[in-house]
Structure 1
Amino acid sequence: MTAVASVDVSLDAPPTTYAREVFGHFVEHFHRQVYGGIFSPGSPLSDEQGFRADVVEALRELAPPVVRWPGGCFVSSYHWLDGVGPDRRPHYDLAWRVTDPNTFGTAEFVAWCRAIGAEPYVCTNAGTGTAKEMSDWVEYCNLPAGSGRWADLRAEHGSPDPFDVRFWSIGNENYGDWEMGAKTPAEWASLVRESAKMIRHVDEDVSLLTAARADLGWTLPLLTAAGSNLDLISIHGYWDVLNLVEAPSDYLTAVGRSLGPQSDIERTRDILGAAGLAERVGIAFDEWNLRGWHHPDGDRPELIAARDLNDVNSTYTMADALFSASFLNACLRHGDVVKMANIAPTVNTRGPLYVHPTGLVRRTTFHVLAMYAHLLGGRVLASTALADGLTGADVPVIDHLATVDEAGTRLSLVLVNRDPTAAVACDVRLGGHVLDGAYDATVLDGPSADAYNDVDHPGTVVPRPVTVGVHAGRTSLPPHSLTVVHVDLPLAHGAGEVGLRPTDGAAWHATPRGWYRTPSSH
């Protein structure tokens, strides 16, 4: 072991309950995410609705709380009326410069979300669309039949009951010159103010988001104009930019960018504070991934075909897995303000699930998302870490997170070793007390830092149950690994409270069966 780290977890500070929407997802009409991904009518693997049944089953493993759709850049030239009802015509997608058949629209998206157990989150067209078009879409989805023209139209289309879509966003990346209908800060603030007002007049109970940036000049005018009508502001992040040239960064370069998400969160929190909205408006990191999507400029067939390079499975190694773990750790450590995050996308392109005509592959990032969905407690404990720097990258060699369940009896400690080749010695203290014993754990690693899963080798990187030994407070973390360790806790002062505060000179000792106190020596 070439590095030493330490993690201290406080059992005195009140834990923070986080929003499970941080484990959210995103699907866009880009390449094979929708058509040939989640939706393949006529495939022997699809159900009667055209949904790939194997994809539905796999995504249920991730317990997705929410899915954002239909974009992304796609939405800024998408008109929702083209994708409802029985008579649909294809439209030319200005963003991705291909024809969309419109066979997957609002009703199909809502039904698919229900099938995988997720809440639908609709992002509206604030590029070529209008505030009226946005609010009409909310009426179509949420108001009962008899309320108005669009609610009645939904009933005519075979859905008399409202879809009850709770999450809505005004626009997508409208600050960027690449977006159809890009706006200046002043234009954006005005449009969001009026759009939010109209949407609230249709359904005042929706959770309303809008496109923002971790940039004071863009976001402060927006919050000043429209903050009173917003619940969350949406920021995006891709840290390996590959849109024009498909040259994915190597392991050290990729994991060396793991501090970027936390920096964006902290800047955005400061902007919310400057607007006086830190206690009322939260952050949704509703597009995130290590790797940016590859889409060379132009509509020539060879340029469209180059998007296939996004689906080369060897790209998605332990670098992607550990970056994703670090991203989620940053969101959860800031769970008082980060209320949603959506990996972009869910399937194909850079997603955790690769879908092909005869099956699917769970990439390394799929297993990270599954571990976080199922192995963590619902509250985050205050914790700190000290670690050497990772040789060749400007980040600490480890990352960490500590959670506890609602009963206050089970602590789950997340430990990430970013070193590609060496184990790391890690000292662990809970409430000032060192651990000593053997603990149930789950580890995700692989035969090398560049290991990946593919069609012919789908199980190269999979989580494995282990017993982690801790001796006098020290354990060893395998190279390029994500480890979740479980420790049983006593109830300190009553049900639901977490604490470990000896005041009588007694010592606490941890074993696999729980904590025990030895008599005082006084």
Structure 2
Amino acid sequence: MTKASLTIDPAFAIADVDPRLFGSFVEHLGRCVYTGIYEPGHPAADENGFRRDVLDLVRELGVTVVRYPGGNFVSGYRWEDGVGPDRPTRLDSAWRSIEPNTFGLGEFIKWTRAAGVEPMMAVNLGTRGVQEAIDLLEYANHPSGTHWSDLRRKHGDAEPYDIRLWCLGNEMDGPWQLGHKTADEYGRLAAETARAMRMIDRRLELVACGSSGATMPTFGTWEATVLKHAYDVVDYVSLHAYYEPIDGDVATFLASGDRMEAFIADTVATCDHMRAVTRSTKRINLSFDEWNVWYMRKFQAQESTLEWRHAPPLLEDHYDVTDAVVVGSLLIALLRHADRVRVACQAQLVNVIAPIFAEPGGPAWRQTIFHPFAQASRYGRGRVLRVEPQTPVYECAAGEVGLLHATAVQAEDGTVTLFAVNRSQTDALELAANVRALGDGVRVLEHTVLTDEDLGARNSAAEPDRVRPRPVTGTGIDTGTLHASLPPVSWNVIRLGR
């Protein structure tokens, strides 16, 4: 029997969770937009062409903010192509696709309002610059009486879009990016753009591009150089990370949450170092605005064969049980660093490495990774408590890793939710949690688990609920100790209250 323990005590808190931690990402990539969120003529389409079945799932997922329109796509994007009646068809070299611009900024804002989410806009700092960014901002946020704001009104939107959260480009450290720049080049451009945008709208929150991954050769020095230029005019530094099992190494794949935590800690250290260097009085927080499980190697093997097409089926990973458990662990990692990670966007929302899958003209359903996100968004609101598990460890390519990965969140009504992953591939984990600090009368309200005897099990149109969280019996509290059995390779949600 494998045993682990932890203590839950509201006296030891990390931070209040920013609701923006439960964000997502819509890019003009593959079928995320076209036949994803937008499909005129679909039986479930509304008067704007938005798929109601997808909107229902987005609301159930609990998404709070959505980043748009990229991603790699934005570094070659002319935003003017996607507004007004005359929309040119363009080549999108980022994803070797044909872009008709049928869906653009106005449609996105209408969709966010229908979905009940906050828009997060990215500006093109790859092939464009300061002027195009402030033109876009004027179009989006200025009330009226100027060229761009009156053009928005002419296009049918009398009220400003009031977009507060903006990304200053995307992955500008990556050689694959259109307009790729050195850290000095990008840092200066980001600072110039930020100052110009703030002159138009002082309420903005701005995200500077950090590293596209912890393995980038410039990681650390990139952030330091960019912040040397832009520290006082930006609010966040971005992080991007994708995880997949390499050569069948499931043990290291299951440790992805620890790798994410290390990435966050190193980025925080660099930001705080630059705070000292710049003598600034403010603190830079993090926007983890791309994260997920992505079978990137599979895509890279096919990338050279792509043909120019409209909305080709790209990056359509179909997720299994193990993928869902890893996504749960990544959500735990984000919550454990809620003091500095204030924005996070799972990439992406529909079809493209996504929790929601939608067939053209057909049904939409929840992928396995849908469920950990939905539960974290529903029960992960409140204050994150400092949880330090005592757990057996194992060795893998990521180093020494605990079998138990866990965190806890206390809601305003006092209810506490424990999120826990068992990484063991063979043994159940017997958890004993000291909950005496929660007071007398606390009880287990619910324990659900996502796992399966077949770790390769997936959901599909034929079996949309093959993998989902299921209730667990036998979990209880005895003399101030919570006792729970966590199955091998499982995502567990245990709710405690009165």
Please report the TM-score for the alignment, with normalisation by the length of structure 1.
Answer: 0.86
Separation in 2, partners of 1:11, 1:44? 49
String of CA shifts for 1:419-452, please: whole Å, max 9, x gaps. Answer: 2342111111125799996542222222332222
Contact 2:29/2:311 (CA < 8 Å) preserved in 1?
Answer: no
Contact 1:272/1:278 (CA < 8 Å) preserved in 2?
Answer: no
String of CA shifts for 1:379-419, please: whole Å, max 9, x gaps. Answer: 11111101112476752111111111124x21111121122
312, 319, 328: which one aligns with 1:325: 328
Distance 1:168 1:292, change over 3 A: farther
Partner of 1:30: 29
Partner of 2:455: 449
Separation in 2, partners of 1:22, 1:194? 28
Structure 2: runs of 5 or more not aligned = none
Partner of 2:487: 478
Shift of 1:323: 1.4
Find the residue that maps to 1:310 and give its secondary structure.
coil
Partner of 1:175: 173
152, 163, 166: which one aligns with 1:165: 163
| Pairing of 1:78-477 with structure 2 (within 5 A) | 78-146=77-145, 148-213=146-211, 215-240=219-244, 249=248, 251-276=250-275, 279-293=282-296, 294-296=299-301, 300-301=305-306, 308=313, 310-313=315-318, 316-357=319-360, 358-390=362-394, 394-407=400-413, 409-430=414-435, 438-467=444-473, 468-471=475-478, 473=481, 474-477=483-486
Separation in 1, partners of 2:197, 2:253? 40
Shift of 1:37: 0.9
- The Cα RMSD (Å) is 2.5
Find the residue that maps to 1:7 and give its secondary structure.
strand
Contact 2:28/2:73 (CA < 8 Å) preserved in 1?
Answer: yes
Partner of 1:6: 5
Please report the TM-score for the alignment, with normalisation by the length of structure 2.
Answer: 0.90
Find the residue that maps to 1:428 and give its secondary structure.
strand
Distance 1:335 1:156, change over 3 A: same
Separation in 2, partners of 1:58, 1:145? 35
Structure 1: runs of 5 or more not aligned = 242-246, 489-513, 515-522
**Relative contact order (C-alpha < 8 Å, sep 6+): which is higher?**
2
Separation in 2, partners of 1:425, 1:63? 31
String of CA shifts for 1:448-483, please: whole Å, max 9, x gaps. Answer: 322221121111111223442345633211222222
Separation in 2, partners of 1:225, 1:455? 50
Distance 1:312 1:229, change over 3 A: closer
Q: Which amino acid aligns with 1:454?
A: S
Distance 1:110 1:153, change over 3 A: same
Q: Which amino acid aligns with 2:382?
A: G
Distance 1:301 1:323, change over 3 A: closer
Find the residue that maps to 2:47 and give its secondary structure.
coil
Contact 1:121/1:167 (CA < 8 Å) preserved in 2?
Answer: yes
Contact 1:416/1:481 (CA < 8 Å) preserved in 2?
Answer: yes
Q: Which amino acid aligns with 2:199?
A: H
String of CA shifts for 1:88-141, please: whole Å, max 9, x gaps. Answer: 111111211221000010001111111111001111100001111011101100
Instruction: Using the TM superposition, name which of 100-109 and 458-467 deviates more.
Output: 458-467
Distance 1:279 1:201, change over 3 A: closer
Contact 2:17/2:381 (CA < 8 Å) preserved in 1?
Answer: no
Separation in 1, partners of 2:305, 2:34? 20
Separation in 2, partners of 1:250, 1:317? 15
Distance 1:278 1:392, change over 3 A: farther
Separation in 2, partners of 1:278, 1:321? 40
Partner of 2:19: 20
Instruction: Using the TM superposition, name which of 292-301 and 353-362 deviates more.
Output: 292-301
Instruction: Using the TM superposition, name which of 275-284 and 115-124 deviates more.
Output: 275-284
Shift of 1:239: 2.2
Q: Between Structure 1 and Structure 2, how many residues are aligned?
A: 479
Shift of 1:11: 2.9
Distance 1:109 1:392, change over 3 A: same
String of CA shifts for 1:278-322, please: whole Å, max 9, x gaps. Answer: 952110000011215425576645697997473252xx1122212
Instruction: Using the TM superposition, name which of 295-304 and 110-119 deviates more.
Output: 295-304
* Identical counterparts, % of pairs: 36
Separation in 1, partners of 2:52, 2:207? 31
Distance 1:441 1:228, change over 3 A: same
Separation in 2, partners of 1:423, 1:340? 33
Distance 1:433 1:228, change over 3 A: closer
Separation in 1, partners of 2:351, 2:59? 17
Contact 1:12/1:431 (CA < 8 Å) preserved in 2?
Answer: no
Distance 1:156 1:487, change over 3 A: same
Contact 2:73/2:92 (CA < 8 Å) preserved in 1?
Answer: yes
Instruction: Using the TM superposition, name which of 297-306 and 44-53 deviates more.
Output: 297-306
Q: Which amino acid aligns with 1:161?
A: E
